[in-house]
Amino acid sequence: MPNDVLTFKRGGVHPEDRKYLSSKKAIEILPTPKEVIVSLSQHLGAPAKALKAKGDKVVKGEKIGTASSFISAEVHSPVNGTIKAIKKVTLANSVSCDAYVIEVDQEAPEVDFVKTEWKNKTKEELLATIKDLGVVGMGGATFPAHVKFSIPKGKEAEYLVINGVECEPYLTSDHRTMLERAEGVVEGIMIIARVIGAKKIIVGIEVNKMDAIKHLREVIEASGYQIQVQPLKMKYPQGDEKQLLSATIKKEIPSGKLPLDIGAVVSNVGTCFAVYEACAKNKPLFERIVSVTGECIKEPKNVLAPIGTKIGELIDFCGGFTEEPDKIVSGGPMMGFSFYDLETPIQKGTSGVISIKIENIAPQTACISCGKCVQACPIGLMPTMLYRNINVGAYDMALNKYSLMDCKECGSCAFVCPAHIPLVHTFKFGKKMARRKK
Ligand code: SF4
Ligand code: SF4
């Protein structure tokens, strides 16, 4: 292990990572499905406005939805085909939105995307391409990338910090991206650095991915770019922007502020690759790598699949279930949402489809005031006091005295709680009630 390993200051937990299930498997390409379901809400913010109607023919990469407000993003067809219907779908995060059901034309010729030299483009042109080709944060947050990379007047992005942490258990899609697509990731990093005007670039990677650290360093050295690859200790939730910046640049984001307020922009490695494909290949974001894994999957894999693929098809591609899972999670098990059914499509932010058994479901007991949740909280909150106040309806107290809105819902407190209290569920409920009261 290298001796320059860093981590964030406060709290954090060490869940068993279980990445061995899929981390050694090279990315496999899913054969194009017969049908995809592409939602107009692929991103944080307002859903895109539909540009197509039932019966319209679409070509792979064609724009089918356009940003409907400042925080919104373009949506492109991941396949050649015909729009069979526009219907309401419920996504894993419980959001209900309009989606295109596209019947795939398997006979249509493959679409070629034209390579361009991104270095000849201005930063305004690069930013416009990132917007036009629908790039959003691929780490799960799906914040529209062009909004994040637009630095407002009076602000400065001194640091660009790249998130190669992937601290959620099971997920390995970023790990495989760094191993198999490193050249594209590095070009994407330099494109973002040019757009935001960053002076210092750091890639943070946890030490359970030493092969990715080594490979990325080799690719960076060969490229001649000035990028530091920083090994980080394994600790959850290091992939959160707050913790990643604390670990890499030793700066803390104050309550209610953003990374840019301390001179930093954070971007995930998958987003860097998407930026590269957009700016150097003119390829819109219409596919992604998904970790299809968990103890209940026969052959866990990382799969490159069109956005809109139903999770059932991904699971079939990985040999199906070994046994009935207790739940199938979108993203990682610490912060992810449960899928309702196998027809639910993947989105731009779906990093994983994790099928798991819940071992030893322990009954909830009363809080024993052990303080473990307080020690685990990376934000420095008092989860036990938040829980007590929300439980008796004292939402103002939870909000004003115990900073409820600073909670990232990371689940570290619930993970260590010996009383098995559903802390995160309570905090989500408390936030909803506090907003309603407001
Ligand atoms: S879920 Fe909220 S309160 Fe619990 S550890 Fe994470 S940030 Fe702290
Ligand atoms: S960890 Fe659980 S039992 Fe311990 S103080 Fe926190 S809420 Fe109470």
List the structure tokens of 80: 């050649």
CA of 427, nearest ligand number = 1
- Note down pLDDT in tens along the chain; length 438 residues: 666 899 999 999 999 999 999 999 999 999 999 999 999 998 999 999 999 999 999 999 999 999 999 999 999 999 999 999 999 999 888 889 999 999 999 999 989 999 999 999 999 999 999 999 999 999 888 999 999 999 999 999 999 999 999 999 999 999 999 999 999 999 999 999 999 999 999 999 999 999 999 999 999 999 999 999 999 999 999 999 999 999 999 999 999 999 999 999 999 999 999 999 999 999 999 999 999 999 999 999 999 999 999 999 999 999 999 999 999 999 999 999 999 899 999 999 999 999 999 876 678 999 999 999 999 999 999 999 999 999 999 999 999 999 999 999 999 999 999 999 999 999 999 999 988 877
Which residue pairs, CB below 8 angstroms and at least 24 apart, start in 50-58? 50/86, 50/98, 50/100, 52/83, 52/100, 53/83, 53/86, 54/83, 54/84, 54/85, 54/86, 55/82, 55/83, 56/82, 56/83, 57/81, 57/82, 57/83, 57/105, 58/82, 58/83, 58/102
Q: How far is CA 302 from the centre of its chain?
A: 15
- Containing 126, the helix (H) or strand (E) segment is helix 123-132
CA of 426, nearest ligand number = 1
Residue nearest to atom 1 of ligand 2 (CA): 417
List the structure tokens of 380: 């420095």
Annotated domain spans of the chain: 1-31+109-359, 372-437
Q: Ligand 2 mean position to 418 CA, how many Å?
A: 7
Q: Which of 13, 368, 389 to mutate to test the pocket of ligand 2 (most atoms within 8 A of CB)?
A: 368
List the structure tokens of 317: 């591609």
| Ligand 2 atom with least separation from CA of 413 | 1
Nearest Cα neighbor of 36 from 78, 73, 90 is 78
| Class of the CATH domain delimited by 1-31+109-359 | alpha beta
Q: Is 391 helix (H, G, I), strand (E, B) or coil?
A: helix
Query: What are the angstrom distances between the C-alpha of 328 and each of 92, 176, 338, 343, 363?
Result: 10, 22, 6, 12, 21
Angle between helices 182-196 and 123-132 (to 10 degrees): 120
Structure-token match 């019966």, residue found: 55
pTM above 0.85, yes or no: yes
Residue nearest to atom 1 of ligand 1 (CA): 409
CA of 421, nearest ligand number = 2
Q: Which of 13, 369, 402, 427 to mutate to test the pocket of ligand 2 (most atoms within 8 A of CB)?
A: 369
Q: Residues 82, 55: contact at Cβ < 8 Å?
A: yes
Structure-token match 């799960």, residue found: 140
Q: Residues 207, 233: contact at Cβ < 8 Å?
A: yes
DSSP state of 356: E
